[in-house]
Amino acid sequence: MYPSVIRFLLLSSFILLAACASTKVQQEKLPCNIPASFNWDTTTVYKASISVMNKNFSGLIIFNRENDTDYRLIMTTDVGPKLIDITLTPKGYTKNFVMAQLDRKALLRMFWEDFGTMLGIFAKGKPGYSDLGTCCYPVSKNFTSCYITSDLKSFPLSAYFVQGNEKKTKINYFCAVGQQPDSIRIEHLALNMSYFLNKLN
Amino acid sequence: MLKNKLISHGEFCFKKSDKLRMEFKQPYKYLFILNGANVYILDNQKKTEVSASGNKLFKKISQITISSVNGDILHSKDFSSRILESDNQYLLILTPQSKEIKQFFNLFQIYVSKNNYLVDKIEMDETSGDKTTLIFTEKQVNVPIGDSFFTLK
């Protein structure tokens, strides 16, 4: 009995030590980059359906590439008149035109986060780090945008906008290999809200 | 703002006195129907029905759309109007006076043919600096259209 108790205690101690040690080891975050991911055309037009609290809205969303990092986002009605025209940059957004009823800071910031992540503007010109199979880029304090690719090189299959450790928005890209996405689904995980974009040109 | 114009094609039907159907067919499908106080929208197989009578802005949009087609817009208090003419067209220049319309548009220009008094073109100058133009071609008049064409089944 005595040697077996000793063996049991030693084994328990070893397991306990090993468990403690493992909690102290930081998960290694390796550098990653997805440079070929976001070579969008100068102008890309999507037909958009937006569902908010089970109500549906539709219109056109146009992305105009201004330079390597900045994009102009334009939302229009299906019939033509413009509702929103903002420039998205890695640091924030600037208003070119916003219809009075939609001129809300929280809404415009949400568009910056969603479409900035979708377009990959936060991933331009700075290194990312791999985290549990995703390639993440810091956006601002406590916010990151993360991309899941088949090989961390090609166009992403999906993306997340993350606050702290909580995924706020999920983006799914549907595209042929090496092509821009034909359709994109953006879903707010905490809100009853989603967009579905279908490429027109 | 855009390097290339965005162009859509479709059909526009009006039945006296308050029925209108605007159907976009290319490059995307979108159907807008105005029937009296009701608005019906079909987009991506999703049907939406709105009662314009309960929504001030929708009611205003409905009134403007119908009155620009039937010509009553010249007597509307929502616009001040000027009429110019060329060899073959009248040009109606409408400047919004009401607050609701002013926030979207600076000016409407309606080009009417002197041949048949039908609208050739509507230009909408937006407050954003952009312009939306509707061009009417292959016009047909007094073609029988059933009332069911102005509802969503």
Q: Is residue B145 part of a domain?
A: no
> CB distance A79–B4 less than 8 Å?
no
Q: Is the pTM of this model over 0.90?
A: no
Q: Whats the size of chain B, residue-wise?
A: 153
Residue A143 has pLDDT above 70, yes or no: yes
Q: Is residue B142 part of a domain?
A: no
ipTM: 0.78
Tell me, yes or no, whether B43 and B105 share the same domain.
no
Tell me, yes or no, whether B46 and B11 share the same domain.
yes
Question: Residue A33: its pLDDT value, please?
Answer: 67
Residue B90: give the domain boundaries: 76-137
Tell me, yes or no, whether B7 and B30 share the same domain.
yes
Tell me, yes or no, whether B66 and B81 share the same domain.
no
Tell me, yes or no, whether B112 and B58 share the same domain.
no
Number of domains in chain B: 2
Q: Is residue B34 part of a domain?
A: yes
> CB distance A56–B48 less than 8 Å?
yes
Q: Is residue B110 part of a domain?
A: yes
Residue B25 has pLDDT above 60, yes or no: yes
Alpha carbon distances (Å) from A89 to A12, A112, B3: 55, 8, 21
3-state secondary structure chain B: CCCCCCCCEEEEEEECCCEEEEEEEECCCEEEEEECCEEEEEECCEEEEEEHHHCHHHHHHHHHHHHHHHCHHHHCCCEEEEEEECCCEEEEEEEECCHHHHCCEEEEEEEEECCCCCEEEEEEEECCCCEEEEECCCCCCCCCCCHHHHCCC
Tell me, yes or no, whether B2 and B62 share the same domain.
yes
> CB distance A100–B105 less than 8 Å?
no
Residue B26 has pLDDT above 50, yes or no: yes
Q: Which residues of A touch B127 (CB under 8 A)?
A: 97
Q: Is residue B153 part of a domain?
A: no
Which member of B2, B30, B126 has the closest CB to residue A78?
B30
Q: Which domains occur in chain A, in start order?
A: 3-199 (2.50.20)
Please, are residues A120 and A38 in contact by the beta-carbon 8 Å criterion? yes
Q: Which amino acid is at A131?
A: D
Alpha carbon distances (Å) from A115 to A34, A103, A111: 17, 17, 6
Question: Residue A151: its pLDDT value, please?
Answer: 62
Chain B nearest-CA residue for A201: B27
Percent of chain A with pLDDT over 70: 78
Mean pLDDT calculated for residue range A153-180: 84
Q: Which of B70, B89, B110 is the last residue of a domain?
A: B70
pLDDT digits 0-9 by tens, A32-84: 766 545 678 788 999 998 888 877 788 899 999 998 889 999 999 888 888 99
Please, are residues A41 and A175 in contact by the beta-carbon 8 Å criterion? no
Mean pLDDT calculated for residue range A172-187: 86
Tell me, yes or no, whether B80 and B130 share the same domain.
yes
In whole angstroms, give the CA distance from residue A39 to residue A18: 47
Q: Is residue B148 part of a domain?
A: no
Q: Is residue B152 part of a domain?
A: no
pLDDT digits 0-9 by tens, A49-62: 888 887 778 889 99
Tell me, yes or no, whether B39 and B98 share the same domain.
no
Alpha carbon distances (Å) from A21 to A8, A10, A56: 20, 16, 52
Tell me, yes or no, whether B62 and B109 share the same domain.
no
The CA-to-CA distance between both ends of chain A, in Å, stands at: 79
> CB distance B1–A85 less than 8 Å?
yes
Question: Residue B82: its pLDDT value, please?
Answer: 94
More confident residue, B44 or B142: B142
Question: Residue A14: its pLDDT value, please?
Answer: 44
More confident residue, B48 or A167: A167
Which member of B28, B104, B128 has the closest CB to residue A85?
B128
Mean pLDDT in chain A?
81
Tell me, yes or no, whether B20 and B82 share the same domain.
no
Tell me, yes or no, whether B16 and B48 share the same domain.
yes
Question: Residue A26: its pLDDT value, please?
Answer: 43
> CB distance B1–A58 less than 8 Å?
no
Q: Which of B70, B86, B117 is the last residue of a domain?
A: B70
Residue B99 touches chain A, beta carbons under 8 Å: no
Mean pLDDT in chain B?
87
Tell me, yes or no, whether B7 and B64 share the same domain.
yes
Chain A nearest-CA residue for B4: A43
Q: Is residue B147 part of a domain?
A: no
> CB distance A64–B124 less than 8 Å?
no
Chain B nearest-CA residue for A75: B128
